Structure 1
Amino acid sequence: MFDYRSAALEVLKTEITALEQLDQYLNQDFVKACELILANKDGKVVVMGIGKSGHVGNKIAATLASTGSSAFFVHPGEAAHGDLGMIKPGDIVLAISNSGESDEILSLFPVLKRLNIKIISMTGKPQSNMAKLSDIHLQITVPKEACPLELAPTSSTTATLVMGDALAVSIMQARGFTAEDFALSHPGGALGRKLLLKLSDIMHSGADLPLVTPNTVVRDALLEVSQKGLGMTAVVDDHQQLVGIFTDGDLRRILDKRIDIHSALIGEVMTVNPTIATPNMLAAQGLNLMQDKSINGLILCDNGKVVGALNMHDLLKAGVV
């Protein structure tokens, strides 16, 4: 039986070796490429590549775009048949080819030069035509491919991808790109929801807000808890200022003590000084607070006045958990 595991381990070893040698190419040319892209406030980074380099280029363009650099991928074959019009003076072209001799890309260089577009090439051959004709060259030479036939691009595509990540992340850090900036470009994803959603966006308020006063009989407070469906109710004074909270957990405790729910007042059995949050708190922060305090619900206050409430189910529905 063929030893699949040994073959796979050999691939990992070969590609790890290739990556370990990649740091020698993080030289002054790499710094220049970062500075060129960072200084390009109005233009875009147009990534090009053919074959496997094109697939990797697509990912590099996506990483640049999601980390604050305006970027997109253009297939060089399509560029030669009209898509070149997407590239404007002031843009930067990032051309990727392991051999550095891709005809489809080299055929575009004269037009790009005429438009005065800066070209950064990423190749494994520093003496190639692409490397020589580019304004900046990023070397990605690997000792050997992980493919035993030395035919399928393997180590070289991994090195290209990692160099692209190094470029994107270095520029992102120099730009001061924040988690909130990242979320703004990913509003539909789970990360965007966690980083942008505030408690005010999902809280229950108005008529849906469970409220009772300290003089409310426990039995009546339980009706409020049941009707509002949050497993708790805020206890407020005449000015809507929070004085306590009553939860399902409090109910279990008073039942254990055999307190008469038909005569006891909520002010006598409520939890005082409960954990609270503010409406402008991020939903992710609210989740962390609830987990730290081992509670299932939160009362939201603005200057002591109760303005909202939510429970763990609301966070689940919003996709924060």
Structure 2
Amino acid sequence: MSAVLPVPLVQVLQPLTVLVAAPGLSGAIAKAEARMQGRRGPRVLQPYYDLAKLFGKESLAPEGASRFFLLAPVIAMTCYLTVPLLIPVLTSFGLPLGYMGDIIGGGFLLSLASFCVAVAAAETGAPYAQLGASRSKTFGAITEPVVLFVVFTVALVTTTDLPYAQAATVRSSADQIIRPAHLLASAALFLVILYETARIPVETHTGTNEFGMIEEARALEHSGPYFALLKWGSACKQLILYTILIDVFLAPWGLASGTSAGPVALAVLALLGKALVLGLVVAVIDNTFAKLRLFKITEFVSAAFLLAVLAVFTLYLGGG
């Protein structure tokens, strides 16, 4: 019989799992993409080596930048590590801090992190960083309503916007997953995730500087540990969004129903396995489509918005 872990320890394990596993997930996706392109690619653990190298370097700030420039990566990382406290990462039941916020609250935290990084990039005066910050906020004005419509659909189905309640509704019956409104909302959220993780075939998340960069461009002027925090935070955001999709909308199975060490350890492995499968799907999408022009991103995000609106209308038409 496995030992029972203290509830506060399990609470801490949720953000710790995201913090530790996020770079590895990014490394696995990068390796898979390289194999699809016929290249050997970097090591799966390469992101960890990159972070260790960056933490050992000196930090510099552009002339004229305020203290907020260096404070923004810390705020962003704090926001990213708070969200796993609100969503079902390892357990199927809400931990003590699990009900201090809902999906909207988690979305606000992710938006706050993005806003801080964008403001820090804008005040550098660097053209690439300012382009990335401006574009992220411009397109974010479209993606944020999509998330709100998705949450609204969830609230109509479960009478609450708590992620644990939504996951419990999906676990109650496999038929819940194939409900039209649920499928449309999940598809809309998936498209938003592709945009938020820089995986749509419009911008590039690897490679040299170019006008199509958005996510990577915002961090160009940071260096040393602060740049490491931004890259680490970006990986954490990716895993958080994956977790929301798989543990709330599509596959909320494998979560621990108690605090015993065995089920919690299995929940960690289940999360990593499901996130890896989703990451491979995203890698296939990222490498299948030819790169599009930047202005096409509005059409891509508008499609996500349309799916979210259709999910709401489907509920009212009896397809929920």
TM interval, short-chain normalised: under 0.3
The alignment's TM-score, normalised by the length of structure 2, stands at: 0.24
Relative to its length, the structure with more strand (as a share) is: 1
Work out which structure has the larger RCO, using CA pairs closer than 8 Å and 6 or more positions apart in sequence.
2
The alignment's TM-score, normalised by the length of structure 1, stands at: 0.24
Whose radius of gyration is greater, 1 or 2?
1
